[in-house]
Amino acid sequence: MATKAGTELATFGAGCFWGTEKFFRKQFGANLISALVGYMGGASNATYQDVCTGTTNHAEVLQLSYEPNKVAYADLVRFFFRMHDPTSLNRQGNDRGTQYRSVIFTHTNEQQKIAEQIRDEVQASGKVKGQIVTQIQSATGLQFFTGEPYHQRYLENNPDGYCNHRLYF
């Protein structure tokens, strides 16, 4: 996704992208230009069914477009660590597999530094039990593939749908 002047991208994988989208929209909604669920980390375009095989190296992610003068990247990262279990390797709740891994795809060197700093702060704070396993990976050379239309705003359109996300601290 191309960004407009004065906007930035942030990409987070925190387990099932339905809940990730729901929680970020609830927290930052008016300050987001867009929030799209999709896939990132693998080499080629894939469908949801392909990603669920665990063979594509894609993670289910939420890609945000935002104006940094309205919301700070650091605030997005702090919220990311609050709304899922960053100590759980390749799973969140009942969802298991590499597509559910905890990952931050950074779009700039500054985002990389901020994500690493906040990860270290959260680990040192004692607010999470166990070692944080979140991957922090450059998005350079990777492509975001937008998820199928029925996945966009899924929990908004299906309020009784499955969601295992919550605020941990």
52 has catalytic annotation: no
Return d(Cα 146, Cα 97) in angstroms, integer.
20
Task: Give the CA distances from residue 67 to residues 29, 43, 44, 72, in Å, rounded to whole numbers and listed in that order.
Answer: 12, 28, 29, 8
| Helical residues (DSSP H) of 103-165, grouped into ranges | 109-125, 154-157
Contact 165, 19 (CB under 8 A): yes
Let me know how long the chain is: 169
Q: Which of 9, 10, 14, 16 is catalytic?
A: 16
Q: Are residues 136 and 169 in contact, defined by beta-carbon separation less than 8 angstroms?
A: no
Please list the active-site residues. 16
